[in-house]
Amino acid sequence: MIKKNKHIQIVSSSNKRLSSMSEASRAGVLAVLSRHYTRVGITLVDTMADLEALVADAPDLVFLGASSINVGNSKVWLSNYLDERGIAYTGSGHKAHQLEMDKSLAKRRVLDAGLKTSPFAVAYQRRPLVDVPFAYPLFVKPTSRGGGVGINSKSVVHTFSELEAKVSSIATRLQSDSLIEKYLSGREFSVAILRQENTAEFSVMPVELLAPTDEYGQRILSGSVKSSDREKVLAVTDQDIRSKVCALALTVFHALGARDYGRIDIRLDQYGTPHFLEANLLPSLIQGYGSFPRAYRLTIKQSYEHMILHIVRLALSRSGNVEPTAQPLLKLSIG
């Protein structure tokens, strides 16, 4: 195989709160890209000096595995910094990442677009907690954590005292505000979205996530369930549910200003109506792990390597720096 003469840097952070790409994920992406491109490396960006050094190295493409770094009391969005310096990168721009990283902002944008998401409120740290204007049970999680962090069997609350305890735990353990939502009791879905090459069409790939029951008989995709990979990932065979879930996910993806690829999580209410839960525009890309690679495998029926190369070609094509793929994806219906 003749490698393409391109310099690609896989970028994430050693700060787990800022990185969306684990060591295993970086290694998997590196192994794939090294087979196809002449120069591929991994760069951990934790400081402005790291970011400046990355730009000085002038890669043809950054494979983005972190959305921002903290500089003093402010945030520097990597995609914005790279845009300003003319360096191509995978995935969405900084405005979409800003919405993704604050679940309450994402839900507000979804509501403003006239789309379904459960009623919610935010409990801010160091402010008195007041009861919410919608009925229990409620679901409580951090506003700005992914991977199920801060979510466990105590996330479903039935009284104000339980709400106080969970909000206090999130503030103390994670130094985070809490998102309080009306609890949705139905099935949960994760929808992988990937733009098809050389077109504005998207492949929309839903899977159902089935967590094991906890001590209260609840199916909660907690941090421990996700980290131990104990949830079942099932194909969505009911065409009515599939159509509704896919339609909501793709509309949400566009409402958030996302591009190229990402994951939208959805849960049904007691009547079977889909509601937006949250977005992940830098989803886990570990081979055989996480809902995005599994949804791709189930729906597209192509390899992990094919998926990674597809994401790279989408990014390179924006800079006019890649030849068209010889093996386009099948155009998929969301129905």
Inform me whether the pLDDT recorded for 278 exceeds 80: yes
Same domain membership, residue 300 and residue 243: yes
Strand partners, 232: 210
Please spell the DSSP secondary structure of 204-236, one letter per residue: EEEEEEEPPB-TTS-B---HHHHHTT-SEEEE-
For 97-109, write each residue's pLDDT tens digit: 999 989 999 999 9
Q: What is the mean pLDDT of residues 243-261?
A: 97
For residue 54, the model assigns a pLDDT of 95
Where in the sequence is the domain holding 58, given as residue range(s)? 4-89
**Is residue 218 included in any domain, yes or no?**
yes
| 196 lies in the same domain as 178 | no
**DSSP collapsed to 3 states, 34-98:** HCCEEEEEEEECCCHHHHHHHHHCCCCEEEECECEEEECCEEEEHHHHHHHCCCEECCCCHHHHH
Q: What is the pLDDT of residues 160-198, one digit of tens each?
A: 999 999 999 999 998 899 999 999 999 999 999 999 998
Give residue-wise pLDDT tens across range 111-122: 999 999 999 999
Same-domain check for residues 204 and 301: yes
How many domains in the chain?
3
Predicted TM-score (pTM) of the model is 0.90
Looking at the structure, tell me whether residues 216 and 235 fall in a common domain: yes
Task: Indicate if 314 and 233 belong to the same structural domain.
Answer: yes
Confidence of residue 325 (pLDDT cuts 50, 70, 90): very low
Residue 278 sits in a domain whose CATH number is: 3.30.470.20
- Whether 31 maps to a domain, the answer reads yes
Cα 77 to Cα 15, 86, 174, 180, 188: the distances in Å are: 15, 15, 22, 27, 31
- Assigned domain for 335 exists: no
User: Stretch 226-236: mean pLDDT, rounded?
Assistant: 80
Q: Any idea which of 85-99, 130-144, 280-294, 303-317 has the lowest mean pLDDT?
A: 280-294
Is residue 217 situated within a structural domain? Answer: yes
Q: How far apart are CA 265 and CA 139, in angstroms?
A: 15
Q: State whether 27 and 127 are in the same domain.
A: no
CATH number at residue 160: 3.30.1490
Where among 40, 69, 89 does a domain terminate?
89
In a domain, 104, yes or no: no
Question: Which is it for strands 261-268 and 274-280: parallel, antiparallel or unpaired?
Answer: antiparallel
